[in-house]
Amino acid sequence: MKKTIVVGSRDSELALTQTHFVIGELQKHFPDVDFTVKHIKTEGDKILDVALSKIGDKGLFVKEIENALLSKEIDFAVHSMKDVPTAVPDGLQITTITEREDPRDCYIAKDGKTRLFDTPQGAVIGTSSLRRSAQLLHQRSDFEIVPIRGNLNTRFRKLSEQDMHGIILAYAGVYRLGWADKITEIIDFEKSLPAVGQGALGIETRSDDDFTINIVSALNHDTTASAILAERAFLRQLEGGCQVPIGAYGRLEAEELVLDGVVAGLDGSTVLRDQVRGSADESDALGKKLAQKMVERGADEILKQVRQEFDANA
């Protein structure tokens, strides 16, 4: 039986690369299925002149795609897990999480060689991520952080055109676009914990579409999935969207799931980090446990302050 599956994708180069990667992998398992790609423009692609943190809407990059799934215009969509809000709409589910790429942040120096922590006093660093800026400012309060939006191509262009020392990006995106040779340095987890879900792809389907569910399930990577489940439970429990200074990193170490988390104030003066360990079968509970542990140490107060600063700037 020949069947066509329609795959929705944002039309950024990264989104299309990721979508075509997933289709290529699926095609190996299901040579008889046809996959066609439908491009979808999302709100996040349209609003380019406003800092993401000011827009504040969770799921800026996925809402239109989820609507297309619900209305059956498309059958599945590939997302960067870090862009997927922790609440998935009724009728849809993240069916598959693929094997994670290196989840760390990376630094790209304009001069191609000076490492992030070797930059001069007052170095100008481009990032629109509050998580990245807070963690960096905690270690180098002299940094001048400038917002840099747009897709990866745009950000590279801005680096070359504007007066800054370098930019911070997710390694996974740069690598997938084939630009790993432009990376000056991969930033260790001790210096910057990544965004929840960074480096992993998720495949979203309708919850009742058994045909598509069966197909995309072939690419699920259990270890990555349980790590990301824990990270997402942590974020959900703290009620953080993608635009709050929260980071996490879950992984399996000798059969044990280890989850690190960070919650930071905007200016980086307060950075709270903690860790929990437990069984990989209880990843959701582990994420909640880390959140509770950090709330007891003041994470709630930090986030309350962050939200007040947002509202004051809105």
Ligand X SMILES: NCc1[nH]cc(CCC(=O)O)c1CC(=O)O
Given the residues 75, 83, 209, 260, select the one marked as catalytic: 83
The reply to whether 231 sits near ligand X by the rule CB under 6 A is: no
| Residue 83-112 contact track with ligand X, rule CB under 6 A, x = bound | x-----------------------------
| Interface with ligand X in residues 180-199 (CB under 6 A) | 198-199
* Contact indicator for 176, 21 with CB cutoff of 8 Å: yes
Closest CA to 3 of 38, 31, 37: 31
Residue 216 tokens read as 């995309």
Task: List the one residue from 9, 53, 80, 224 that touches ligand X (CB under 6 A).
Answer: 80
Q: List, in sequence order, every residue forming a beta bridge with 46; answer none if it has no partner.
A: none
Helix or strand or coil: residue 108?
A: strand
What's the closest the beta carbon of residue 199 comes to ligand X, in angstroms?
Answer: 5
Told to judge if 45 belongs to the known catalytic residues of this protein, a careful annotator would answer: no
What's the closest the beta carbon of residue 198 comes to ligand X, in angstroms?
Answer: 4
Helix or strand or coil: residue 27?
A: helix
**Cα distance between residue 50 and residue 52, in whole Å:** 6
Binding region for ligand X (CB under 6 A) out of 76-84, 115-123, 179-187, 266-274:
76-84
Nearer to ligand X, 172 or 203 (CB): 172
What's the closest the beta carbon of residue 15 comes to ligand X, in angstroms?
Answer: 9
The residue at minimum Cβ distance from ligand X is: 173
* Contact indicator for 102, 172 with CB cutoff of 8 Å: yes
| Residue 153-172 contact track with ligand X, rule CB under 6 A, x = bound | ----------------xx-x
Count of residues that interact with ligand X, criterion CB under 6 A: 9
Nearer to ligand X, 103 or 265 (CB): 103
Nearer to ligand X, 60 or 294 (CB): 60
* Contact indicator for 270, 137 with CB cutoff of 8 Å: no
**Cα distance between residue 9 and residue 203, in whole Å:** 11
**Cα distance between residue 78 and residue 19, in whole Å:** 6
CA dihedral (206, 216, 172, 278) in degrees, to 10, reads 80
* Contact indicator for 200, 100 with CB cutoff of 8 Å: yes
Collect all residues with Cβ–Cβ distance below 8 Å to 56 and sequence separation of at least 6.
241, 243, 310, 314
Nearer to ligand X, 85 or 173 (CB): 173
Task: List the one residue from 8, 173, 240, 261 that touches ligand X (CB under 6 A).
Answer: 173
Residues with catalytic roles: 83
Binding site for ligand X (CB under 6 A): 80, 82-83, 169-170, 172-173, 198-199
